Structure 1
């Protein structure tokens, strides 16, 4: 991640400039002539490529986890049927089903909340006027403020998903923060 920010630091510099309205010298950001090219490289590399890679990785890992948990559930049911009466196998695999639902839901929330900035960064590469100080600066700032709200939502909603879907998390949360035992 640090290496992906090198183009940004090559194109932007902090310089001291005199501000006559304040009658003082202030630290100011100075952009190089290759600013648009360097930002395009940065946005494509860190914003689009790494984001798409993380989406693919999350989807693949979720699929592998779901497949493994489903095969584990089937194995448990077949061994439970062989070992006991088939009427006692009703609860076998319910915990695995809950885990599959929770992991899939968490992955879906992540992807839904982080796909829009990928599109915003890609659009910034395509249209150089779509930037903070560009022709469409107002809409740029509006969309990014909505995006930051989505990122905050993603970070905060996971707690409630775990509280709702994981009984073990509920127990640990209650004993840690509420100082009581939950059964």
Structure 2
């Protein structure tokens, strides 16, 4: 029976090992032509683990604050529901990435009786990918909602209701989280003796029946290219549209104020105030989208390249480089899931006021 084994940082950039290439995930390969030597690879991965931990701590604290703050602000705007859902998925994503990073950190490995580089994929890799997909599709949904507000300003409230937003959020989580849990059908945690550390540690064994291998193949396929590129392309198109509209809106306000200076200085009227409010929300979405595009595009391109060129995969000649790139992309992913608290605080007056009240920085 084939001795398949898994390795890698997360499911979006790795594949299961062919029998003749099956190796322990804890041992980097030293193949002819490999760009990173085993020593350099382990040193770089340890450095990445510290970087990911630093970013991750900020992300865990920041997303926790977003969840609490938007619970205080309320959900009179459906977009707040999406922000809250995104914060929950970002929290899950960054926590999974931090755990994955710690599994590559030697001091951490010595603390627990774990074969850390074996357990990292089923305990951190699949959940990282699942939560990242939730965040990606939520970002696409928010961007699309802002575009509909521009195209159908008087109908958008009937098109995207609170109930429909809630249905989308629940469906988004179920569709992306449930497949990641199926991997545990093929995974068995077992105690084994580690000769290097001379102690018994908890490791992972993957079941090898045709049914279980087909199940894992399905999970790989499900989290494959279409689900990665569709939200990214949607966000890119919507962001371009929103930027063009915001520029038009800025020009309109300029002409409105210059044509009616008294109104521009004292009161802009309900139409102007409503448009300014929509513009602020639009700008917030644009900034979130730009951060998402910058942090997600490298992962999408790397995913495409690993599938097009077998030598760039975890089973190929440049395995060490593949895993290091995957770790670097995980750090970008953690960054994407950690910065929203600063965006909301700088661009949303309601969020800023609620957060200040939370820390008793303003009078209630």
TM-score by length of 1: 0.65
| Secondary structure of 1:95's aligned partner | helix
Residue of structure 1 in register with 2:234 after alignment: 57
Q: Does 1:121 align with 2:303?
A: yes
Mark the CA change 1:19 to 1:133 in structure 2 (over 3 Å): closer, same or farther: farther
Residue of structure 2 in register with 1:175 after alignment: 357
| Secondary structure of 2:337's aligned partner | helix
Q: Which structure features the higher share of strand residues?
A: 1
Measured on the aligned residues, the alpha-carbon RMSD in Å equals 4.5
| Secondary structure of 1:129's aligned partner | helix
Q: Is the 8 A contact 1:44 1:121 kept in 2?
A: no
Larger radius of gyration: 1
Q: Is the 8 A contact 1:18 1:26 kept in 2?
A: yes
Residue of structure 1 in register with 2:223 after alignment: 46
Q: Is the 8 A contact 1:44 1:125 kept in 2?
A: no
Tell me, in whole angstroms, the C-alpha distance in 2 between the residues paired with 1:73 and 1:166.
Answer: 18
Q: Is the 8 A contact 2:356 2:362 kept in 1?
A: yes
Q: Is the 8 A contact 1:40 1:125 kept in 2?
A: no
Mark the CA change 1:119 to 1:71 in structure 2 (over 3 Å): closer, same or farther: closer
Q: Any gaps of 5 or more consecutive residues in structure 1?
A: none
User: Alignment length, in residue pairs?
Assistant: 177
Mark the CA change 1:164 to 1:5 in structure 2 (over 3 Å): closer, same or farther: closer
Tell me, in whole angstroms, the C-alpha distance in 2 between the residues paired with 1:101 and 1:17.
Answer: 52
Tell me, in whole angstroms, the C-alpha distance in 2 between the residues paired with 1:149 and 1:178.
Answer: 33
Q: Any gaps of 5 or more consecutive residues in structure 2?
A: 1-175
Q: Deviations over 1:117-176 (max 9, x none)?
A: 112222221222323353212211221121111111111111111111111111011011
Tell me, in whole angstroms, the C-alpha distance in 2 between the residues paired with 1:20 and 1:161.
Answer: 46
Residue of structure 2 in register with 1:112 after alignment: 294
Pick which of 118-127 and 152-161 moved more: 118-127
Mark the CA change 1:181 to 1:23 in structure 2 (over 3 Å): closer, same or farther: closer
